[in-house]
Amino acid sequence: MTDQVNPERLAVEMRGIVKIFPGVVANDHVDLIVRQGEIHALVGENGAGKSTLMNILYGLIHADAGEILIEGKPAPMQGPRDAIRQGIGMVHQHFMLIPVFTVGENVVLGSEPVRPGGFYDYARARTAIAALTRQYGLALDPDARVEDLPVGLQQRVEIVKVLYRGARILILDEPTGVLTPQESLELFRVLRGLVQRGKTIIFISHKLKEVLEISDRITVMRRGKVVGHLITKDTDEQEIARLMVGRDVLLRVEKTPAKPGPIALRVENLYANSDQGVPALRGVSFELRQGEILGIAGVEGNGQSELVEALAGTRRSSGGRVFLADHEVSNLTAATIRLAGVSHIPEDRRGAGLVLNYSVADNLILGRQRTPIFAWDGLVLRLKAIFNWAQRLIKEFDIRTPSSTTPARTLSGGNQQKIIVAREMATQPRVLLAAQPTRGVDIGAIEFIHRRLIAERDGGAAILLVSAELDEVRSLSDRIAVMYEGRIVSIEPPDAPEERLGLLMTGGGSGDRRKAG
Amino acid sequence: MAAAAKRSARQEPPQIVKGLRRTGRALAVPARSVLLAFVVGAVIVAVTGGDPFKAYQALACGGFGLFCFGGEPSVLQLANTLVVVTPLIMAGIAVALPFRAGMFNIGAEGQLIMGAIAATTVGIHFAGWPAFVLLPFVLLAGALGGAVWGGIVGVLKAVTGAHEVVTTIMLNFVAQWFLRFLIIGGPLQLPGGSSKSSPIGTSAQLATLVPHNNQLFLGLPGAVYRAHTGLFVALAAAAVFAFLLWRTSLGYEIRAVGQSQRAARYGGISVRKTLVTSMLIAGAFAGLAGAVQIAGVDHNLTDQYFTDTTGFDAIAVALLGLNSAVGIILSAILFGALHAGGSVMQSDAGVSGNLVYVLQALILFSIAANFLRGFKLRLPSPGRVPETPAADAMASAVAQEADIELAGDDKDTA
């Protein structure tokens, strides 16, 4: 039951799309041409207008000008309903699934098959899903509860859901952001299978490697405009990056070998529970020296977040000990640990790292609002000192903001992250806990943050780097600790092959389990 | 925000324009709410056979001493309004401060009563002391009484996670019945069977603005003007509130907790301690309102405190005043004028004084409707209830939609 594919026919034509938000042109006469049966990558930095364009295509927002043709026919999109009727399906970056429902129930949600009398037709739903999964080679148990599935399979549920609604054109928004390397490869296999069976895929991503691997054609956006239509086999990473950023970008991190100094942080057999009260850390031990970067690799949810929080003092440990140099700091308050010279770039930028409604300046003193530099006797804020501090950091860390009184909420993700990085680095910490320091940040800011991390290292800071991006861990770290199920299963050199790390991250491989050191 | 705006205004002149525009936008919601309430109120008056213009003219006369065509003494009307405004300002702060920390203090009334009780007790017991010692002592006692009552709420919230809306409402009842016990057959009752306490000593009383004697002031004996120097206590309280909120580390922490408990915790701020502290301070402001009411106007506890609604009107004051010092003063004046003007409206225009409560409810209603969007974000769940994954998914879905709007903002700074 393969759809008719004619590579000359166009699946999607968006022509001259204009969308103006108050004060800014989000889409400036954007053209997007997607051929039938291809994987078309849409790349660009945050705020380049990709999401706006896709939301217009999916009917979530209305364009101010321009036209949309689906398979050659004009298709005005009044809302997602129209888009679905036209055969467009969207797989969001954050899954829209109900965790306690089964796979089957999630897939049919919103268009449930109904038996006479208004009852949910369980049998018919099952057969429909079984048929779909067989047809596209997407192994899935319709009776499994979604919350029990790994992230990769949850994503597959999302894909089956849009297929069930009859989608011929699938939009995937940053689909690999939450996946392990293995899961990403599996996703690519699925996507290729879908394309072979006549589907068309629009793939939004900022990971250039992936884009080169999976796509047929690429549309590059920058500041609301399309700056390049590329054919994947005729281009390379450097060219795409240059188009995205508008200048040449250093994709490789340049660094000299580390010169490790004395031990700055020692963790002995650390235990801690997750928010749900289940053990998340089960005996983590390692040593971190001044002047080195220890990278933590691992699939998200294997205790990395809890480790960083336990070290920063925002989560209580239930066992084990933590030493800063020779002083035990186990379970001291976050404020004390910070004063002792530990900085923390939290993984949840918008939730924890910033008070979004606070101004840039106020955010730049978060955690230090009672220190004598910013408050007389720790009581009354020294507005002048705070203002000067903000001016200095805005300049030094190149935070692009209209003023220091602008609310952090209105800045781009990259600039928000720069506020945190500036705040945490400007006090010359002895230990820097950097969790996902470049998540959701554009290439230019990534380059900047990477350079600052290396500079901090060279300045003698001990850096613990946690990142879901294996490439980032490998390029920045001097040693890589792989975490799996709350333990460090192995410490590897930075040039360890990706396959080996991937295997260790998923519990396989022969981690030599030697103690960190 | 006010301090921040001022700071930038000094540095970059064009910011003044931006600041004004922002102020204008901030004022738009309350102004619309008030306007809407008065329009609907006019319709109600007209439908029920009254004359809305006459009603509002009488209300303006009774509230502000303006448009008094019937020969009513303008200044007297204004003085009566100030009497109502004074405790409203302080009680409004008692609601606004916890709001900044993400809590909803419905208990300003109970805290006010406890403040009044403490102030009265001190005022009776130490009646012989000189005024310069006793008066501050009375006000301090009132603040302490309220602080204890608010502090209980804060401690319960921090320790057991008990929701402050429930505990404050319950403590309101406790305070009212405690008062009932004290002045009906209890230790504070004035001998002679009446349901009120003995009066506080004269040196415990706040002076009135017009000398309290039989000399004529604007044609009337000075004793009829009840407006008192407690007004200055209220204005000072508002100044303290603004300073605390915007210029101190504690204020920074209170606002941070209200905006995002996670970010606060990350920043090394003890959320529990901050919640308790803000309830203590809020209770102190409400207790001060009670003390000022006793020291300035009533001079003794009476059964009218059983039906007093200052602490509840304060919720409207804080909400309409956007939880800011200047806003609270302005909206306290508005609500004070409404309450004081109601009786004049009833007698002059023949419109039931209850219209005032209709207007107040309408203002609150339309503000609440406008608030609904921000409400979810402003009020964090009590204690440390872990977020369920489902709620997370919903939140991120909402966040994604919101990003559509934000995409615009992102770009002009990128």
Residue A513 lies in a domain: no
Is the domain of A141 the same as that of A79?
Answer: no
Q: How many C-beta atoms surround the C-beta of residue B251 within 10 A?
A: 23
Q: Is the dihedral of CA A81, A82, A87, A89 positive or negative?
A: negative
Instruction: Give me the pLDDT at residue B386, please.
Output: 32
Please count the structural domains in chain A. 4
Q: Which CATH number characterizes residue A39's domain?
A: 3.40.50.300
What per-residue string of b and e applies to B32-59 under the rule 16 or more CB within 10 Å gives b?
A: ebbebbbebbbebbeeeebebebbbbbb
A231 falls within a domain:
yes
Give the dihedral of Cα atoms B157, B159, B162, B167; nearest 10 deg: -60
CA-to-CA separations, A81 to A85, A202, A304, B265, in angstroms, rounded: 6, 19, 40, 42
Q: Which 8-state DSSP code applies to residue A351? A: I
CA distances from B252 to A197, A444, B34 (A): 58, 32, 31
Q: Is the pLDDT of residue A6 over 80?
A: no
Relative orientation angle of helices B230-247 and B74-100, to the nearest 10 degrees: 30
> What is the reported pLDDT for B14?
60
Separation CA A186–CA A201 (nearest Å): 16
The answer to whether residues A59 and A159 belong to one domain is no
Same domain as A370, residue A233: no
The predicted-structure confidence for B321-376, as pLDDT tens digits, reads as follows 999 999 999 999 999 999 999 888 888 888 888 888 898 888 888 887 765 444 44
Domain assignment present for residue A285? The answer is yes
Question: What pLDDT does residue A188 have?
Answer: 93
B380 vs A435 pLDDT, higher one: A435
Residue bearing tokens 């409402």: B169
- Print the domain residue range for B52: 23-383
**Do the domain assignments include residue B379?**
yes
Q: What is the pLDDT of residues A292-350, one digit of tens each?
A: 999 999 887 889 999 999 999 999 999 999 999 989 999 999 999 999 999 999 988 88
Indicate the pLDDT class of residue A5, thresholds 50, 70 and 90: low
Distance from CA of B279 to the nearest CA of A (A): 18
Separation between Cα atoms, residue B105 and residue B169, nearest integer Å: 9
Position B149 in a domain: yes
CATH number of the domain to which B137 belongs? 1.10.3470
- The region, left, alpha or beta by phi > 0 then psi within -120 to 50, assigned to residue B170 is alpha
Question: For residues A140 and A174, is the Cβ–Cβ distance under 8 A?
Answer: no
Assigned domain for B393 exists: no
Inform me whether the pLDDT recorded for A389 exceeds 90. yes
Is A290:A276 a contact under the CB 8 Å cutoff? no
Tens digits of residue pLDDT in A219-256: 999 889 999 999 999 999 889 988 988 887 776 778 88
Give the nearest chain B residue to A49 (CA atoms): B407
In this structure, the answer to whether residues A479 and A453 fall within a common structural domain is yes
Do A455 and A320 sit in the same domain of this protein? yes
Contact B249 A370 (CB under 8 A): yes
Question: Would you state the structure tokens that stand for residue B389, as one six-digit string?
Answer: 């994954």
User: Would residue A482 count as lying in a domain?
Assistant: yes
Query: Long-range contacts: B72-80, Cβ < 8 Å, 24+?
Result: B72/B344, B72/B348, B73/B218, B73/B219, B73/B220, B75/B218, B75/B225, B76/B218, B76/B220, B76/B224, B76/B225, B77/B340, B77/B341, B77/B344, B78/B227, B79/B209, B79/B210, B79/B225, B79/B226, B79/B227, B80/B226, B80/B227, B80/B340
Range of the domain at A399: 351-412
Is A388 inside a domain boundary?
yes
Query: Which among A23, A60, A361 has CB closest to B412?
Result: A23
Q: In the structure encoding, which two tokens stand for residue B379, read together?
A: 């009020």
Final residue of a structural domain among A167, A190, A225: A167
Determine, yes or no, domain membership for B41.
yes
Lowest mean pLDDT among A52-61, A159-168, A434-443: A434-443
- CB-closest option in B249, B390, B393 to A381: B249
C-alpha distances in angstroms, B137 versus B119, B141, B148, B162, B209?
8, 6, 16, 33, 21
User: Are A499 and A470 in contact, with CB atoms under 8 Å apart?
Assistant: no
The pLDDT, as a whole number, for residue B323 is 94
CB atoms within 10 A of CB A456: 22
CB A174 within 8 A of CB A93: yes
Per-residue pLDDT of chain B (414 residues; tens, 9 = 90+): 444 444 444 444 466 777 777 777 777 778 888 888 899 999 999 998 889 999 999 999 999 988 888 778 889 999 999 999 999 999 999 999 999 999 999 999 999 999 999 999 999 999 999 999 999 999 999 999 999 999 999 999 999 999 999 999 999 999 999 999 999 988 888 888 788 999 999 999 999 998 888 888 888 888 889 999 999 999 999 999 999 999 999 999 999 999 999 999 999 999 999 999 999 999 999 999 999 999 999 999 999 999 999 999 999 999 999 999 999 999 999 999 999 998 888 888 888 888 888 988 888 888 877 654 444 434 443 333 333 333 333 333 333 333 333 333 333 333
Residue B303 domain-assigned (yes or no): yes
* Domain identity same for A98 and A152: yes
Is there a contact between B286 and B117 (Cβ–Cβ < 8 Å)? no
Shared domain check, A447 and A327: yes
Q: Assess if residue A392 is contained within a domain.
A: yes
The torsion angle over the Cα atoms of residues A159, A165, A171 and A173, rounded to 10 degrees, is -50
Q: The dihedral of CA A309, A313, A315, A320: what is its sign? A: positive
Nearest to A21 among B250, B407, B413 (CB): B407
Report CB contact under 8 Å: A26, B411: yes
Contact check, Cβ <8 Å, B413/A402: yes
Rounded Cα gap, residues A272 and A283, in angstroms: 9
Distance of alpha carbon A120 from alpha carbon A112, whole angstroms:
7
**Pairwise CA distance, residues B250 & B352, whole Å:** 46
B1 found inside a domain: no
Relative orientation angle of helices A181-196 and A122-136, to the nearest 10 degrees: 90
Q: What angle do CA A246, A403, A456 make, to 5 degrees?
A: 65
CA-based nearest distance B379→chain A, Å: 14
B410 contacts A46? CB cut-off 8 A: yes
Give a yes or no: residue B294 inside a domain: yes
Is residue B324 a contact partner of residue B100, using CB atoms and an 8 Å limit? no
Partner residue facing A410 (CB), from B256, B389, B413 = B413
Q: What is the pLDDT of residues A422-432, one digit of tens each?
A: 999 999 999 99
As a residue count, chain B comes to: 414
In a shared domain, residues A499 and A401: no
Shared-domain flag, residues A79 and A205: yes
Please tell me whether residues A4 and A53 are part of one structural domain: yes
Average pLDDT, chain A: 88
Q: Domains in chain B: how many in total?
A: 1
DSSP-derived 3-state class of residue A364:
coil
pLDDT at B382: 38
Domain shared by A385 and A323, yes or no: no
Range list of H helices, A330-409: 334-339, 360-363, 383-396
For the segment A95-115, what is each residue's pLDDT rounded down to a tens digit? 888 989 988 889 888 778 888
Predicted pLDDT of residue A4: 54
Q: Which residues does A385 contact at the CB level (< 8 Å), separation at least 6? A: A373, A374
ipTM over 0.85: no
Helical segments of B126-229, H only: 131-160, 164-183
Q: Give domain status of residue B97, yes or no.
A: yes
| Distance of alpha carbon A196 from alpha carbon A191, whole angstroms | 9
